Amino acid sequence: MSIDMAQFHQVFFEESFEGLAVMESGLLNLDMGDVDSEEINTIFRAAHSIKGGSGTFGFNAVADFTHLMETLLDEMRDGRRQVTQAAVDVLLGSVDCLTEMLTAIQAEDELDEGSVNNHKKALEVELNGESATETPVEVVPIASAPIATESDAERGWKIAFCPHTDLLKTGNDPVRMFRELAELGNLDVFVDMQGVPSLVDLNPEDCHLSWTLLLKGDIERSDIDDIFDWVEDECDLSILPLTEEVELETIIEIAEAETAAKATPVESVKVVAAETVKTDNAETKAASTKAKKPKAATSSSIRVDTSKIDTLINMVGELVITQSMLSLVGEHFSIDKVDQLKTGLIQLERHTRELQESVMNIRMMPISFVFSRFPRLAHDLSSKLDKKIELKLVGEHTEVDKTVVELISDPLVHLVRNSLDHGIEMPADRVAAGKPETGTVTLEAYHRGGNIVIEVKDDGKGLDKESLRKKAVEKGLIEESTILTDKQTYELIFMAGFSTAEQLTDVSGRGVGMDVVRRNIQALGGTIEIISELGVGSTMAIHLPLTLAILDGQSIAVGDATYIVPLGSIVESVKITDDMVNRVAGKGETFRLRNEYLPIVRMHEIFHVESAKATNLMEGLLVVVEGQGVRCGLFVDDLLGQQQVVIKSLEANYRRVEGVSSATILGDGSVALILDIPGLVRLSNQ
């Protein structure tokens, strides 16, 4: 009987990607010159496992490639070869190549043979010396196309650029990239509009276009890589040397596409940076996917400690026993069994709560799944910026919900990049300021109450309040007479359209705005705050709920409706008197709480709910809540009680509502809205 090996593929891929992460981490920790046999053994074992598994499943290209890596690692392990930076760089590039190969095989796509061959040559050069190949081979990032000769580079490059749909939502702008490409040489831009939906289905925040770019001139490949550096995970990208044959082939294909489209002509689009702009061909997307595969889908599986499974099984057993007891009571119920019924219901409540906690505990993953990507990021970026940077990871075993782990990754990447690029000074500047030559960036995670706090700290130059304020005034974001606290001044960087280009320079001249970062964190139900001291450093602190499935909330009554306020947002509830209230014509109401004046948000008016108490503040209660560091008072009829609620997405089942984050189903079957406290605070400020 034959065995279908495909059923084991998913496990192989998951274990292989874990092994690649181990290899990358180990390579980054190697000391130059010294042979740490244990560290190299760990790397070697990971490579050996990947080679063995790929050979078993018939992925011979992966097995052959990994064999070369094994040979190099084996020589290091036996002491026949010293650990050098060149060898580590080659091995890191090979890890990238293996990742790309496995991703392509998993997605059933073709391998990028050019990239694989380049990395193979680089390994052979490192193993056998320069004599192994006629010309030196440069190790390029995995996204790169085959290395061009000098004559090819002088001719230029053909770039197939197909953004993913969400590219614009991350704050990136293709036109700005084209403008920078045009500064490098003579740029022709061909746009493909075949992916644009009809006007009825068009979402203006989605990107439906793709482009073919012909960039002519004596241009280094690295200059092009710099421009696309920030979007390499948000697009399909192919960069090929532009020869006369390639250019002619492209022009012919574009002409054929234009001829085929005569029945439905495509409007020409002018791009600011280009000298000549024409309608596009249908080949862009196909070419780009050959050179760079789409991002692998998020893994739907999760590894769980067997002790957690045992606890869950025990809880289910207890629940079954309680259910059996209640069934017996129900079959022969009499009034004298009321006490027994109450006892059973109490046990049922306790076991259900414990079962819920056990199930939620299974979804918890260590934050190290996110933190593990940053040592490589710091290694590559510090080399690129000519800075000396030490990255410290603290609390990487702190557990958080799997969904939070998956969604917090991108915001953290932007914050860490900002610290590495903008925060840490150049070595000479640090020495002149009396600091160590090596800067330190610390990623720390810890639990605080029902939240997880993730901090990105650096000992760099900090934020200049005066410069921030001046830039905000120049941009027209605030009035010159506006009085701001330190906290409000720092939060200017979260305003859309705010730029610190004069004070802070990005690695490649582009970047995702901090307003997008904060919006992504708020989408997770979290907040971000800044602590900074000029010349000392900055801390970006992210506060997130431990899980996105369960919420501890306070039920409030507004008229006949019930709403849920997240318990972590509540400061206190107060009964106010008339002398505590201040009314400002056209500006709303405030009340004084311990020498602090807070705005009053009348919930009846926000949600258009009728109530007899709506007009008299003295008859209801004020629930003082805090969101994004700002407080306000929610005027409600009454407090009903605290409870854990299961979060249901409102947008997925209805649509977005200002001031509401999600919904839940109460015990009586009715639906209660869960309030978005930062959104209500914004409404109160308006």
Neighbour count for residue 319 (Cβ, 10 Å): 17
CA distances from 643 to 4, 346, 452 (A): 49, 16, 20
Higher pLDDT pick, 432 / 606: 432
Q: What does the block give as tokens for 114?
A: 């050019």
Name the nearest CA neighbour of 146 among 115, 104, 121.
Answer: 115
* Known catalytic residue at 48: yes
| 70, 354, 357, 589: the active-site residue | 70
In this prediction, residue 454 carries a pLDDT of 92
Strand 389-394 and strand 439-448: the pairing is parallel
Q: What does the block give as tokens for 370?
A: 């996110």
pLDDT per position as a tens digit, 521-549: 877 778 888 888 888 999 999 888 777 67
CATH code of the domain made up of 366-545: 3.30.565.10
For the cut 50, the answer to whether the pLDDT of residue 266 exceeds it is no
Residue 80: burial class (beta carbons within 10 Å; 0-12, 13-18, 19+): exposed
Higher pLDDT pick, 242 / 541: 541
* Known catalytic residue at 128: no
CA distances from 158 to 219, 245, 271, 276, 287 (A): 12, 11, 17, 15, 10
Helix (H, G, I), strand (E, B) or coil at 670: coil
Residue 292 — pLDDT band, cuts 50, 70, 90? Answer: very low
Q: What does the block give as tokens for 655?
A: 């649509």
Domain 550-685 = CATH 1.20.1440.120: no
The pLDDT mean for the chain works out to: 77
* CA pair distance 48, 55, nearest whole angstrom: 11
| 281, 418, 491, 604: the active-site residue | 418
Domains 5-132 and 550-685 share a fold: no
Average pLDDT over residues 4-21: 78
Fold of 5-132: Four Helix Bundle (Hemerythrin (Met), subunit A) (1.20.120)
Structural domain spans, the chain: 5-132, 150-291, 306-362, 366-545, 550-685
For the cut 60, the answer to whether the pLDDT of residue 470 exceeds it is yes
| 15, 18, 48, 232: the active-site residue | 48
In this prediction, residue 301 carries a pLDDT of 67
* Known catalytic residue at 418: yes
Which of the four CATH numbers 3.10.350, 3.30.70, 1.10.3720, 1.20.5 does domain 150-291 have? 3.30.70
Query: What is the separation of C-alpha 131 from the centre of its chain, rounded to a whole number of angstroms?
Result: 44
